[in-house]
């Protein structure tokens, strides 16, 4: 993989003291902060006081991270049920910002911040950006929604804190985004990955070569499921390194975890967030290297700290404390999918993102697909329906039969499951928006 601008990116630290903590020191800080956290939520949040009392846990019961599993989980439903301010651990008078996440089902989720929460948030983002090469010299375009969505403002404040020249272009108006990028000589940007791809393609349509006519040195993407395949496409398209960004509004937004220049997992800022992986079905803790649901405890948030929040994101903690970048902050894998999307077929976990990844490398098909699971007799049958788009269609049946064979063997190798591939006409599959599921499970439950 050619990385034209890769060499320009240097490993740098925004808060060297905190970022270079030893593994031992990180654990000490986590234990110390966890003790403080339990005390704070016990005193400040009626919701948590009740929850902890029910478990027989007092404000002084938790002594170190070893006691973590004694603490109850917090779920998205808890947040919804306590809408809007029932979960806060400080009086509303201390709150200076309120965001919400989309409420597609029932109440939205409220995210509140004190002034110090905003400072820590901005510093976390500043760490992420500095770690991936953003400096005060950079012109940084924030191509994420501003407003209630935490993405836009989160990156805005972080980039501004570094001293970069921030262009708050938000989303939409793609040609204008590209024009600004070229006219201002933008050197770094953040966006959701699918939109970044679209920006690059639009630039080409406008006669602007993203590699030559734009000056992007470093880019970060997140906020929707994506894959290494998409990353490779983006790096090729823009000729720069692209970094994976992870966060979720419930625990404060982006800036929870970010890739460093090693591109070998995402560092979770472990002095602020304590991450665990549990079995999504039983809630039992899983060791590093095993995939499960990410559970996050916010160690320093004041307004709305969360204890063992079930993110519903599937990933694993990577083994080993040492990273080439010099940070011992826990590394997690890319998010493989959502617990809501995960399907078990003949005992194997299947995620739509795995299929997406494989299809990315097949120019003959678009990226609209659907996974259908049916039960025939006693056996689950997996079918992947894929739209055939115009680009590489030559009009010959043989090519399509070959294509179907290639996709089947690729997917079977990847998933370790026998499956059927069905090629369908463009437009015949339902369009899914953003994070919606692409799975049609027809097994009777």
Partner 1 sequence: MEIRKQVSVFVENKPGRLSRVLEVLRGGGISVEAFMIADAGEFGIIHLLLSDPKRGKALLVDNSFTVSESDVMALRSVDQDSLFKLSTELGRNGVNIQYAYGAVAQNHSLVMKVSDPRKGEEILKGILPA
Residues making contact with partner 1 (CB under 8 A): 388-390, 393-397, 400-401, 404, 422-428
Residue 153 vs 388, nearer CB to partner 1:
388
The nearer residue to partner 1, 379 or 401, going by C-beta atoms, is 401
Give whichever of 17 and 391 is closer to partner 1, judged by the CB atom.
391
345 versus 365: smaller Cβ distance to partner 1: 365
Count other Cβ atoms within 10 Å, centred on residue 29.
18
SS3 42: helix
Exposed, middle or buried, 270 (CB in 10 Å: 0-12/13-18/19+)? buried
Q: How many whole angstroms separate alpha carbon 111 and alpha carbon 134?
A: 27
Closest among 423, 374, 373 to 400, alpha carbons compared: 423
Give me the least distance between CB of 387 and partner 1, in Å please.
8
| Minimal distance, residue 404 CB to partner 1, in Å | 8
Question: Cα(124)–Cα(255) distance, rounded to whole angstroms?
Answer: 5
Cβ distance to partner 1 smaller for residue 377 or 390 = 390
Work out the angle at residue 265's Cα, subtended by the Cα atoms of residues 260 and 271, and round it to the nearest 5 degrees.
70
- Minimum distance, C-beta of residue 420 to partner 1, in the bound complex (Å): 9
Question: Smallest distance from the beta carbon of 346 to partner 1, in angstroms?
Answer: 22
Supply the minimum distance, in Å, between the C-beta of residue 421 and partner 1: 10
- If we measure between CA atoms, which residue out of 188, 197, 261, 251 comes closest to residue 229? 197
Strands (E), 269-427: 273-278, 292-298, 309-315, 331-332, 337-338, 343-345, 348-350, 365-376, 379-388, 420-424
Facing residues of 221 across strands? Answer: 191, 244
Closest to partner 1 by CB, 11 or 367: 367
Minimum CB separation from partner 1 for residue 393, in Å?
5
Sign of the four-CA dihedral 410, 415, 421, 424? negative
**Contact by Cβ (8 Å): 199, 143:** yes
In the complex with partner 1, the residue whose CB is nearer, 250 or 364, is: 364
Distance set, CA 59 to CA 34, 85, 152 (Å):
11, 22, 36
Minimum separation from the CB atom of position 98 to partner 1 (A)? 43
Q: 221 or 388, CB closer to partner 1?
A: 388
Q: How far apart are CA 220 and CA 241, in angstroms?
A: 9
Least distance between partner 1 and beta carbon 21 (Å): 55
């Amino acid at each position: 993989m050619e990385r034209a601008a890769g060499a320009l990116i240097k490993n740098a630290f925004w808060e060297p003291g905190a970022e270079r903590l030893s593994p031992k020191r990180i654990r000490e800080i986590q234990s110390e902060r966890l003790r403080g956290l339990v005390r704070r939520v016990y005193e400040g949040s009626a919701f948590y006081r009740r929850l902890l009392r029910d478990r027989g846990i007092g404000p002084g019961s938790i002594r170190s991270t070893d006691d973590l599993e004694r603490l109850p989980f917090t779920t998205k439903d808890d947040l919804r049920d306590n809408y809007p301010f029932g979960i806060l651990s400080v009086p509303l008078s201390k709150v200076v910002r309120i965001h919400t996440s989309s409420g597609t089902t029932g109440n939205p989720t409220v995210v509140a911040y004190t002034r110090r929460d905003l400072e820590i948030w901005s510093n976390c983002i500043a760490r992420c950006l500095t770690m991936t090469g953003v400096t005060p010299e950079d012109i940084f375009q924030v191509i994420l929604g501003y407003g209630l969505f935490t993405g836009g403002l989160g990156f805005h404040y972080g980039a501004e804190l570094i001293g970069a020249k921030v262009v708050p272009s938000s989303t939409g108006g793609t040609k204008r985004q590209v024009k600004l990028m070229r006219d201002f000589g933008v050197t770094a940007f953040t966006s959701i990955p699918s939109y970044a791809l679209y920006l690059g393609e639009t630039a080409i349509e406008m006669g602007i070569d993203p590699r030559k006519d734009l000056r992007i040195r470093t880019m970060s993407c997140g906020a929707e499921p994506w894959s290494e395949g998409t990353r490779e496409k983006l790096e090729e398209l823009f000729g720069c390194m692209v970094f994976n960004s992870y966060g979720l509004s419930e625990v404060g937004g982006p800036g929870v975890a970010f890739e460093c220049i090693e591109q070998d997992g995402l560092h979770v800022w472990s002095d602020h967030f304590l991450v665990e992986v549990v079995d999504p079905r039983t809630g039992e803790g899983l060791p590093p290297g095993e995939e499960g649901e990410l559970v996050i405890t916010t160690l320093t948030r004041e307004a709305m700290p969360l204890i063992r929040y079930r993110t519903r994101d599937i990933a694993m903690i990577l083994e080993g404390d040492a990273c080439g970048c010099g940070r011992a902050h826990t590394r997690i894998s890319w998010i493989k999918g959502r617990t809501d999307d995960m399907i078990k077929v003949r005992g194997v976990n299947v995620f739509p993102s795995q299929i997406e990844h494989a299809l990315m490398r097949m120019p003959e098909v678009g990226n609209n697909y659907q996974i259908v699971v049916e039960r025939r007799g006693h056996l689950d049958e997996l079918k992947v329906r894929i739209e055939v788009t115009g680009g590489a269609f030559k009009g010959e049946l043989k090519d399509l039969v070959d294509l179907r064979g290639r996709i089947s063997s690729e997917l079977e190798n990847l998933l370790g499951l026998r499956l059927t591939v069905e090629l369908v006409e463009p437009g015949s599959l339902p369009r899914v928006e953003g994070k919606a599921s692409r799975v049609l499970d027809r097994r009777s439950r």
